[in-house]
Structure 1
Amino acid sequence: MSEILDYPSRLTDKHSRKFETFSYLPRMTAEQIRRQVEYIVSRGWNPAIEHTEPDEASGAYWYMWKLPMFGETDVDKILSEAQLCHNQNQAHHVRLVGYDNYRQSQGASMVIYRAPGFE
């Protein structure tokens, strides 16, 4: 069995902070982000885009970019909204959320654009 290591993430080191499972992986490519959006749509979840300042990213409150895209199934439109949010909030982290109507919870949540200096 391999050794389990402590990940050196600390609140005092903002560059080491992690937000969710995907934060421990290399940054997603545009194609990988597209596949995540396709997965959210295929599950029938409602996509939403949120953003926040890097110093506030570990908190529970993120700003909602417009309203959740209830019933939206056009992957290109969802990606376009995410890009628009990123373009208008370049100093913020931007995350994609998939709301599961059946379970009344988030089915997916991942940071898709990181603020400069946090790549």
Structure 2
Amino acid sequence: MRITQGQFSFLPDLTDEEITMQVQYALDQGWIVAIEHTTDPHPRNAYWDMWGQPMFDLADAAGVMMELGDCRQANPNSYIKILAFDSNKGFESIRMSFLVNRPAEEPGFELVRAEAAGRQLNYTIRSYATAQPAETRYR
């Protein structure tokens, strides 16, 4: 199962050249770029680990790509995404977010059913990856 989160998630994985072009576009807009990673890609998991600090005042995508390379080397079996934050008044939010790294195998999610009061059924999803400790996921 292929995780589809953020921009471009229904397209084939972006090449490093394509990632560089997207990052350069974000920098040209004056947006602040950051890199995050996780082993739990649940759609409601908004708290991914940030790699380093947000990259303020960059003009060239090469700096971001260098940090991305370091993050990929340290977390080869994690989901990694690039974010671009627009700090201009009126926006002050993420304007761009896309995955740039995936584990070789994506186990997907299971639908969990729980019975509640009366005949009510509640459903939620759970990532198969979370069945293992964080340090052993995606090996």
TM-score range, shorter chain: 0.7 to 0.9
Corresponding residue for residue 84 of structure 2? 98
Matched, 1:56 2:41: yes
Measured after TM superposition, the shift of residue 17 of structure 1 is 2.9
Root-mean-square deviation (Å): 1.3
**1:1-119 correspondence to structure 2 within 5 Å:** 15-53=1-39, 55-58=40-43, 59-102=45-88, 103-118=91-106
SS in 2 for 1:28: coil
In 1: Cα distance, 2:42 partner to 2:73 partner: 18
TM-score of the pair, normalised by structure 2: 0.69
Measured after TM superposition, the shift of residue 57 of structure 1 is 4.4
TM-score of the pair, normalised by structure 1: 0.80
- Paired residues, number: 103
Greater percentage in strand? 2
Task: Tell me which moved more, 16-25 or 85-94.
Answer: 16-25
- Unpaired runs of 5+ in structure 1? 1-14
- Unpaired runs of 5+ in structure 2? 107-139
Give the percent of matched residue pairs that are identical in Structure 1 and Structure 2. 33
In 2: Cα distance, 1:37 partner to 1:21 partner: 13
Greater percentage in helix? 1
Letter in 2 for 1:45: W
